[in-house]
Structure 1
Amino acid sequence: MIEQLSESIPIYIEQSGVIAPILFVLFHLIRPLLFLPVIFVCMVGGYLFGVIYGSIFSIIGLTLMCIIFYFIVRKFPNVLSRFEKMNNKMLKNRPLTMNQIMILRMVPFAHFHLLSLYVMEQTNSFKEYAKYSFLGVILPGVIFTSFGQMIIDLPLFYSIFLLLFLSVIFIGVRKRSIEKQKSIQWRKFFSVGE
């Protein structure tokens, strides 16, 4: 169901004419509900609108997503505690600098909202949070959108090859992280028994 929806939304946006940019920004906002990576939505923007307009619309959508996340976390403390648990598992409370957060924003499979949480921790006000969130999504918005335009500009054979290559990398990274989790759990199991 979600897979079909994620495939049909870009087609619907493409056919919607003048309101396509608004629908694309909304696509960014519902992206977390569809469990889609940021890079996918930005690539769709490059495919539909080209690098310049796709980047602008992606930056707007990503910035709005950061702002919505800020208010959701403030309104619902359970969401904050969930992300704090994730933070404890991933970084073991090692603080990140703002520069590190900005670099991590460019990693396609970094958790977008967890990075927004780090920005919240580093800033003192909503205005400062919004500023750094905006600055932090500019470069990934442009880079990821460029991938979408690049796929259009490549001949069909190379586009298919690139998509297959990215799929293999995505699946490989995912399997490797699952295997790593299993090996860590295996080691924990035997260290408890000793």
Structure 2
Amino acid sequence: MEQIEQWIMTIKDSHLLIASFLFIFVHVVRPIFFIPVILILMTGGVIFGFVHGTILSIVGLMLSSIIFYYLAQKMPWFTRRLIQMKQKLFGEDRHMTKQQVMLLRLVPFIHYHLLSFLIYEQATDLRDYNKLSLYTAIPMALIYTVIGQSVAQFSPKVMTMFVLLILTVSYLARKDTRQKIKQLLTST
């Protein structure tokens, strides 16, 4: 492992442009090798630092999202599988807001492309899809690039509290919950 880290740092120091392209390429091929997106984002923060790592992560996430968009259009069996996953996880007739998807992107164990599928369902065309994908990718890239290696050092208790906080905020961001809160506030 140390040899791999040394090799990566040597490439980064001597060939920043090549290292940047390799990092973006890893984002694109990540789903093929089942590499968690969070791991790639944190690695970007460790290798490239906050600003460069965030920019490269956003570019990589957007390229991955564009490829997903075309795969979803060309492969109906793929979208049927994602519909089944969505129904199991979120319920039969559940529509998520872009704020909920943005928050769910921060939860490490929720399938990245399932969330991309939720955006795909909401989008009217590729431009709208890209705009929504960017909206949900920026906070994810920022937070996990900043956190970098420190997530691995979190205690299980802190990580559980973090996930519960994100799920709670996601629940509160639901349209029907916001409407209930609004009704409650206006009735008093």
TM score, norm. by length of structure 2: 0.73
Instruction: State the partner residue of 1:39.
Output: 38
Instruction: State the partner residue of 1:89.
Output: 88
Question: 2:73 is aligned with what amino acid?
Answer: R
User: Do structure 1's residue 110 and structure 2's residue 105 form an aligned pair?
Assistant: no
Question: 2:72 is aligned with what amino acid?
Answer: V
User: Do structure 1's residue 14 and structure 2's residue 3 form an aligned pair?
Assistant: no
**Displacement of 1:75 after TM fit?**
1.1
**Displacement of 1:33 after TM fit?**
1.7
Instruction: State the partner residue of 1:186.
Output: none
Instruction: State the partner residue of 2:56.
Output: 57
User: Do structure 1's residue 163 and structure 2's residue 152 form an aligned pair?
Assistant: yes
- Mapped contact 1:58–1:141 kept (Cα < 8 A): yes
Instruction: State the partner residue of 1:122.
Output: 122
Question: 2:69 is aligned with what amino acid?
Answer: Y
In 2, Cα distance between the equivalents of 1:9 and 1:26? 17
- Mapped contact 1:13–1:24 kept (Cα < 8 A): no
- Mapped contact 1:10–1:44 kept (Cα < 8 A): no
Structure 1 pair 11/134, CA: closer, same or farther in 2 (3 Å)? farther
**Displacement of 1:101 after TM fit?**
1.1
Question: 1:15 is aligned with what amino acid?
Answer: T
In 1, Cα distance between the equivalents of 2:34 and 2:61? 15
- Mapped contact 1:13–1:23 kept (Cα < 8 A): no
**Displacement of 1:9 after TM fit?**
7.1
Q: Residues 2-47 of structure 1: CA distance to partner in whole angstroms, max 9, x if unpaired? A: xx8xx98766543332300000001111111221211110111001
Question: 2:119 is aligned with what amino acid?
Answer: V
Report matched runs for 1:62-73 at 5 Å.
62-73=61-72
Deviation beyond 3 Å, 4+ runs, structure 1: 7-15
In 1, Cα distance between the equivalents of 2:24 and 2:40? 10
Secondary structure of the structure 2 residue equivalent to 1:60: helix
**Displacement of 1:165 after TM fit?**
3.8
Percent identity over paired residues: 39
Structure 2: runs of 5+ lacking an equivalent? 161-188
What's the C-alpha RMSD, in Å, of the aligned pairs? 2.6
Structure 1 pair 105/65, CA: closer, same or farther in 2 (3 Å)? same
Secondary structure of the structure 1 residue equivalent to 2:85: helix
Question: 2:10 is aligned with what amino acid?
Answer: Q
- Aligned residue-pair number: 156
TM score, norm. by length of structure 1: 0.71
**Displacement of 1:109 after TM fit?**
2.0
Question: 1:36 is aligned with what amino acid?
Answer: I
